[in-house]
Chain A
């Protein structure tokens, strides 16, 4: 993967990976907010929620996993991510 064409190909793959991940999250968020509403909980509390140390750690782990997955088409990214 060295010519500019193959780099552009990789970039498209990255964008599609991101869109896929974004949709998974959006789907989950819509379902989650509906579940909360059905259970009588105001979904606006999500916006104000302050993560605990444990949640912060989980978010960090998941965020880095997402980045690794999205950027996997870059050959040298494994060590970097």
Chain B
């Protein structure tokens, strides 16, 4: 099969296991929608604790709720295991390609002595086994989990979404772009497509994720600067970029770190430069049932900072960091992604 970056061939066991997990996750999702339909019309209290009790009572007799919770639990804990096992079955076949794609115009500035932030180290985000530091997690997440598991249940095109969102920046061209939270390079690639003349720098804590981003770039002969560093402390010079961007990074950060990330973006932007962050919908944009659903999903889905992130007014956080013209709004039919655009004032 053709992955996002390279050709590879899963073995029978790995392929069948991933297909099964993806279909079962789809069923859990549909059962969740059935539960939503059952709860439709329920007058929910503003207080979250009371609301939780109301929903617990209303779903106590719901078979759809009972099965959705347990099937979702199985999918959540299993997807990282079956994709890791599928990778191990083909690992030896892939290593020569990994070696070849580590050579090229894009090189990684690894930081072997890096001290991971407390909020990040040891966290299995999305309940994916091993978090972002498991060896070869960039390939496992980027080439197996995303297209074969997530992509099957959240259609819409992960690349299309990431490219389309850049239309919010208008016709403005950018020359020096910093991406915060590069992960395996999905958004980086869209930045490179939209702004082909720009110098692109990406910072990311997980070295295995940067290795996959590097494969993306070298496979297309693109020159990116990839640095292993936290978004809140990039180590990059003051006023050295005209755009700082991220895509679904902020909800993986505690509130206090988001403030630091915006301050760091402000520091590295030149006067007049733009900050452009795309992320989850804030609670204030959700109905009481949607808010409860988001909190419930986050608590069971490896999203330890979702509630903090969804409670923030990012335009206000940007203004506090010194930005001007900060605005924050949702895109498309589902108000997703939620974008925050702000400008560093001229000196």
Verify that A and B bind, or say they do not: yes
* A residues whose Cβ falls under 8 Å from a Cβ of B: 1-2, 7, 10, 46-51, 59-60, 63-64, 67, 71, 74-77, 79-81
Residues of B within 8 A of A47 (CB): 11-13
Q: Which residue of A lies closest to B89 (CB)?
A: A47
Residues of B within 8 A of A63 (CB): 19-20, 23
Which residues of chain A have C-beta atoms less than 8 A from B9's C-beta? 48, 50
Cβ-defined contact, A80 with B11, below 8 A? no
Give B281 Cβ to nearest chain A Cβ, in Å.
25
Residues of A within 8 A of B63 (CB): 1-2, 7, 10, 74-76
- In angstroms, Cα B13 to Cα A55, docked, is 15
With most chain A CB atoms within 10 A of its CB, the pick from B16, B30, B34, B63 is: B63
How many Å from the CB of B35 to the closest CB on chain A? 9
Enumerate B9-46 residues with CB–CB distance to A below 8 Å.
9, 11-13, 15-16, 19-20, 23-24, 27, 30-31, 34
- Check if A46 sits within 8 Å of B12, measured CB to CB: yes
Other-chain contact of A7, B19, B20, B24, B66 (Cβ < 8 Å):
B66
Measured as residues with beta carbon below 8 angstroms from the partner, the interface class of chain B is: 20 to 34
Could you list 12 A-B pairs, sorted by A, with CB under 8 Å? A7-B63, A7-B66, A50-B1, A60-B23, A67-B24, A74-B63, A74-B64, A74-B67, A76-B62, A77-B27, A79-B30, A80-B30
B61 adjacent to chain A (CB < 8 Å): yes
Which residues on A sit within 8 Å (CB–CB) of B13? 47
Question: With A50-B1, A51-B15 given, can you name 11 additional A-B contacts, CB distance below 8 Å?
Answer: A7-B63, A47-B11, A47-B12, A49-B12, A64-B23, A71-B27, A75-B63, A76-B62, A76-B63, A80-B34, A80-B64
| Minimum distance in angstroms from A25 CB to a CB of chain B | 10
Distance in Å from the Cβ of B346 to the closest Cβ of chain A? 55
C-alpha spacing A4/B166, complex, angstroms: 49
Tell me the bound Cα distance from A46 to B16 in angstroms.
12
- Set B1, B15, B27, B61: member contacting A67, Cβ < 8 A: B27
- Which A residues are in CB contact (< 8 Å) with B11? 47-48
- In this complex, the member of A47, A75, A80 whose beta carbon has the largest number of chain B beta carbons within 10 angstroms is A80
Considering the chains assembled together, what is the distance between the CA atoms of A74 and B35 in angstroms? 13
Output the residue of A1, A51, A76 with the most chain B CB within 10 A: A76
**A80 to B24 alpha-carbon distance, docked (Å):** 10
On whether the beta carbons of A77 and B24 are closer than 8 Å, the reply is no
CA distance A74 to B64 in the complex (A): 7
Chain B, residue nearest A60 (CB): B19
Report Cα–Cα, A75/B67, bound state, in Å. 10
Least CB distance, A75 to chain B, in whole angstroms: 5
Could you tell me the distance between the alpha carbons of A49 and B15 in the complex, rounded to whole angstroms?
Answer: 11
B193-217 interface code vs A (CB 8 A; 1 in, 0 out)? 0000000000000000000000000
Q: Which residue of B lies closest to A11 (CB)?
A: B70
* Complex interface: chain A residues within 8 A of B66 (CB): 7
* Chain A residues, CB < 8 A from B62: 76
For residue A51, which residue of chain B has the nearest CB? Answer: B15
Distance from A11 Cβ to chain B, minimum over Cβ atoms (Å): 8
Pick from B9, B19, B62 the residue with the most CB of A within 10 Å: B19
CB nearest neighbor in B for A74: B67
Contact B23 A80 (CB under 8 A): no
User: Once the chains are docked, how many angstroms separate the CA of A79 from the CA of B27?
Assistant: 9
In the bound complex, residues from chain B placing their C-beta under 8 Å from that of A2 are 61, 63
Query: Once bound together, how far apart are the Cα atoms of A50 and B64, in whole Å?
Result: 36
Which residues of A sit under 8 angstroms from B12, Cβ to Cβ? 46-49
Of B20, B23, B31, which is within 8 A of A77 by CB? B31
